[in-house]
């Protein structure tokens, strides 16, 4: 197995699961996670946007979906689909594909982490050049602590997964804005 991809829920098993995943990583496999909730009940922020944050926090190599195109006959017409669940973050109908809040949240989460990666890479450049100061220390602190704060605000380790659950759905925006401001200062 080159890529080990358990569902997000399996990570809840704690240390026993982590040892199992680490064993796959040690032998050279990539460790990913995937989302597997029907779209109609899953929270765009807590389930889709937070996936990228969890990938970063838990040092995973990637993330995906149970079934990217598993939407049944017609995503827009629940009567036509019947009791079949749709796991796709997109809407399919009449030969067309349309975006959703879930897909846009997934994209936004990836962009959030890209900004954190850019900040991390910039800090590595500055550290190599011997240019470390209060601003770089603040940026490193942000990288080390802010993702966990984002996750905690979203409901903890596994977050707000259902759209009707309460949780802070703004903390990722706050964290990304802080990271972008620090990136600008570290030109």
pLDDT at 142: 97
Question: Tens digits of per-residue pLDDT, 120-136?
Answer: 999 999 999 999 999 99
Question: 45: which 2 tokens?
Answer: 């922020």
Q: How many domains does the chain have?
A: 1
Residues spanned by the domain of 163:
1-187
Radius of gyration of the chain (CA): 19
Question: Tens digits of per-residue pLDDT, 44-102?
Answer: 898 889 999 988 988 889 988 877 766 555 566 655 555 667 777 887 777 778 888 98
Asked if residues 123 and 139 have their Cβ atoms less than 8 Å apart, the reply is yes
Q: Which residue has the higher pLDDT, 160 or 95?
A: 95
CA distance 57 to 120: 13
What is the H or E stretch that residue 34 is in?
strand 30-35
pLDDT at 15: 77
Q: Residue 151 pLDDT > 80, yes or no?
A: yes
pLDDT at 63: 86
What phi and psi values does residue 120 have, to the nearest 5 degrees? -60, -45
Q: Residue 107 pLDDT > 90, yes or no?
A: yes
Question: 99: which 2 tokens?
Answer: 């975006």
pLDDT at 4: 85
pLDDT at 121: 97
Percent of the chain with pLDDT over 90: 40
């Amino acid at each position: 197995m080159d890529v080990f991809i358990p569902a997000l829920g399996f990570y809840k098993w704690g240390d026993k699961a982590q040892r199992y995943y680490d064993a796959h990583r040690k032998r050279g496999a990539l460790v990913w996670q995937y989302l597997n909730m029907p779209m109609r009940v899953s929270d765009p922020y807590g389930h889709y946007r937070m996936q990228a944050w969890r990938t970063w926090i838990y040092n995973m190599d990637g993330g995906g979906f149970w079934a990217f195109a598993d939407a049944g006959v017609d995503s827009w017409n629940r009567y036509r689909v019947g009791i079949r669940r749709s796991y796709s973050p997109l809407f399919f109908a009449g030969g067309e594909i349309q975006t959703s809040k879930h897909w846009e949240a997934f994209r936004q989460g990836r962009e959030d982490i890209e900004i954190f990666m850019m900040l991390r890479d910039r800090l590595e450049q500055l550290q190599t050049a011997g240019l470390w100061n209060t601003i770089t220390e603040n940026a490193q602190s942000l990288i080390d602590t802010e993702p966990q704060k984002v996750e905690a605000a979203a409901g903890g380790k596994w977050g707000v997964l259902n759209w009707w659950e309460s949780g802070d759905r703004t903390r990722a925006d706050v964290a990304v804005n802080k990271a972008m401001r620090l990136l600008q200062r570290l030109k």
